[in-house]
């Protein structure tokens, strides 16, 4: 029996959580997840939850502004996960603001189901 490739994705946001194959009896899809047949890399694709169409992730287009000890990162998609020093923040309004009390280099990770995961570094003045 030939192997069948598929992905499973989160029905709430389209994030691909599993890329696998099966030959023989298929397992049922867990509640809250969908399945699409084909081969798609989770770091390159997501599923549009309104159309169930597989789409290519796009790069973030964020900008950052330094104003004294304040740093503002803007143009973030809603529900972007930002990791800084092991702490996770969920962006709810498109903007992440930080106030730093000393000059430091900050590395932060951006993650969103529809965007290519990105790692950036900022230096506070």
Query: What pLDDT does 26 receive?
Result: 77
Q: State the pTM of this model.
A: 0.85
Q: How confident is the model at residue 99 (pLDDT cuts 50, 70, 90)?
A: confident
What pLDDT does residue 125 have?
65
How much of the chain exceeds pLDDT 90, in percent?
71
Neighbours of 64 (CB within 10 A): 14
For the four alpha carbons of 41, 18, 91 and 49, in that order, the dihedral sign comes to positive
């Amino acid at each position: 029996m030939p192997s069948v490739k598929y992905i499973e994705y989160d029905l709430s946001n389209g994030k691909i959580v599993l890329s696998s194959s099966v030959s023989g009896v298929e397992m049922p899809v867990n509640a809250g997840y969908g399945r699409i047949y084909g081969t798609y890399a989770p770091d390159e694709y997501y599923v549009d939850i309104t159309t169930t169409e597989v789409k290519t992730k796009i790069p973030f287009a964020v900008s950052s502004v330094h104003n004294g000890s304040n740093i503002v990162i803007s143009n973030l998609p809603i529900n972007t996960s930002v990791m800084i020093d092991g702490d996770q923040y969920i962006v709810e309004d498109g903007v992440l603001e930080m106030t730093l009390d000393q000059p430091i280099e900050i590395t932060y990770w951006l993650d969103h189901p529809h965007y290519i995961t990105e790692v950036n570094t900022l230096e506070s003045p």
